[in-house]
Structure 1
């Protein structure tokens, strides 16, 4: 089948609610700074009520969605699959990604509202997540169109697809379809705490399906038990075609076969680190599809990561293609 689409992602489609706070606010809601927390609807409503006077910024989110938006920004043809509620947040989500020229496959849910991801940004630019999955967790295997996967060059998933049994079933089904149809499978492991909860399942998926893997330094250690990022990189690369370990301000490491590259981070004023890893993946995957050398793929990923952390939120509204094409 002709691969007319660049990337498809199946994702927890959440509305990102960006809130600037201090450490005391995190303590008030028992949120560990820098971590990812799953919360119930009641707590989500309490948080929203507490901060609604700030008129927080709303933007479509989900790690995979952030990556898809970044690829679409560069002109990539993308599909985003997820589930949202029949509510204003669901309408806003679909309107924005459609405006970004992403093909939406958003299934509306009667029994749950659109999921919400509260992204708390502290003065040091660190972000802490509190997530109520809402309708996102009600995505079902029957909602996935196998034809969409078959006609895509890359299937991009995140570790968050292991947050519930039905999402895990969907991820495995999607990867089976991709593997059978020579679709590259990319996975971002997404969160160290999630890795510790789902380590066995993740290793099983990585060994059987994954071609390109993205982790940050903490995730690399949690997944491989290797404290040295280079050792973790080598262990990951033993099971994947390409392994990437993101090191924040120290740049990133890429390994494929016998090649290892250390990519320097771009210097920028850090305002909000939300989406840094997701946009790195966007730049890398888009560049890879353009058949650019791996080192240049890493540089473009690093550039987009630097660009997104210099603003609030993970959606870059200005087109980046002209700037990216100047990177050598």
Structure 2
């Protein structure tokens, strides 16, 4: 039996979540609804234009959110990432420890510099727009992988955001190589439409001939396959992934289990913040399939869990909320 259900590799990001109105984007030349990489000065300028008294800080990062979710539902996970020897780095590592996620990183051994942070701007329509300063995440490389932890995992989970960094790209390529060589499942998340659109060549390098499990939303699926409808995109994805999940926002999700398509019904909620919804879906789904649940059962759990995330501010549930999801699912 493997020690870990999921070995994740991704950016270590501290989220700074705040609310803005729609006019803010035009006034400050921000592209709405996607993740944009920015330098430190640009991010600080945006923060000066926002009432930061109403902001909230939390551990984040796409794959980081996912491995935390795996643990909250009762699984075990390991996370390879990189933080700096600063207050935000200490905050991030304490957050991983509090959620039971294993890592080899320590605050004392972390390099100088700045820990990555993401300014998450939410609007009244519940959409999230992210401007991310990567900081030391740009230096995440194959040397930060833990091969023994990979070999003791059921799945390796690769964060698509890493394709934006040359060293990060090499790191996830190496993680995939180790996993495939040792017959360990490889799961990939496209992470954001901007990654698929602007780093398509790099993403092709990761997908390669195939991945075992792909997570994406409808927009990402259509961009990557060059199609105009989800129906066409799902046909194209069958040639790229053995199994895949296409999240459809308020319309639920579509899962391909290797043989058939499974439609996952949405849970009706009033969405206030969609930040972290896809990360939660992936975490709950990975927990499900590594604990003897069918793809349909895992999809139902993931749909309910992500509906709870979007009905509140922040990308994660508390352990108590995760337990309530499991309880409600069995009711």
Note the C-alpha offset of 1:241.
Answer: 1.9
Post-superposition offset of 1:293: 1.4
Residue 280 (structure 2) aligns with: 279
Counterparts of 1:112 and 1:137, CA distance in 2 = 11
8 Å contact kept, 2:210–2:242: no
Q: Extract unaligned runs of 5+ from structure 1.
A: none
Q: C-alpha separation between the residues in 1 aligned to 2:192 and 2:144?
A: 26
Find the counterpart in structure 2 of residue 160 from structure 1: 161
Distance in 2, matches of 1:112 and 1:129, equals 21
Over residues 114-164 of structure 1, what are the superposed CA-to-partner deviations in whole Å (9 max), with x where a residue is unaligned?
111110001111110000000111112212111111111111112111011
SS of residue in 2 equivalent to 1:91: helix
Give CA deviations for 1:262-317 in whole Å, capped at 9, x if unaligned: 11111111110001111111111110111211111111111111010011101211
- Secondary structure of 1:72's aligned partner: helix
Between the aligned partners of 2:42 and 2:14, the Cα distance in structure 1 is: 16
8 Å CA contact retained: 1:233, 1:254: no
Moved more, 314-323 or 140-149: 314-323
Deviation at 1:221, TM superposition (A): 0.8
Asked whether the equivalents of residues 210 and 239 of structure 2 are also in contact (C-alpha less than 8 Å), the reply is no
Mapping of 1:53-72 within 5 angstroms? Answer: 53-72=52-71
Equivalent residues of 1:246, 1:253 under 8 A apart: yes
Task: Compute the TM-score of the two structures, normalised by the length of structure 1.
Answer: 0.95
The gaps in structure 2 that reach 5 residues or longer are none
1:40-51 pair list within 5 angstroms: 40-51=39-50
Cα distance in structure 1, aligned partners of 2:49 and 2:86 = 21
Deviation at 1:180, TM superposition (A): 1.2
Deviation at 1:53, TM superposition (A): 4.1
Q: Between 111-120 and 226-235, report the one with greater CA deviation.
A: 226-235
Alignment of 1:240 with 2:234, yes or no, is: no
* Cα distance in 1, alignment partners of residues 194 and 325 from structure 2: 35
Look up the match of 2:33. 34
TM-score (norm 2): 0.94
Q: Tell me how far apart the structure 2 counterparts of residues 13 and 116 of structure 1 sit (CA, whole Å).
A: 8
SS at 1:7's partner residue? strand
Match of 1:7 in 2: 6
Q: Name the counterpart of 1:100.
A: 99
2:252 touches 2:265 (CA, 8 Å); kept in 1? yes
More displaced stretch, 152-161 vs 314-323: 314-323
Are 1:263 and 1:299, in contact at CA under 8 Å, matched by a contact in 2?
A: yes
* Number of residues of Structure 1 aligned to a counterpart in Structure 2: 327
Matching residue of 2:200:
199
Structure 1 residues 53, 224: CA separation in 2 closer, same or farther (over 3 Å shift)? closer
> Which residue number corresponds to residue 225 of structure 2?
224
Is residue 19 of structure 1 aligned with residue 18 of structure 2?
Answer: yes
Contact 1:207 1:240 (8 Å CA) reproduced? no
State the shift of 1:52 in Å: 6.0
Distance of 2:231 and 2:116 partners within structure 1: 36
Alpha-carbon contact 2:86-2:113 (below 8 Å) kept:
no
Distance 1:318 1:148, change over 3 A: closer
Separation of aligned partners in 2, 1:190 and 1:89: 23
Of 248-257 and 272-281, the range deviating more from structure 2: 248-257
Runs of at least 4 residues off by over 6 Å: none
- Please tell me whether the aligned partners of residues 2 and 152 of structure 2 are also in contact (alpha carbons under 8 angstroms): yes
Pairwise CA RMSD: 1.7
Q: Provide the residue aligned with 1:85 in structure 2.
A: 84
Instruction: Report the Cα distance in structure 2 between the residues aligned to 1:45 and 1:128, rounded to whole angstroms.
Output: 16
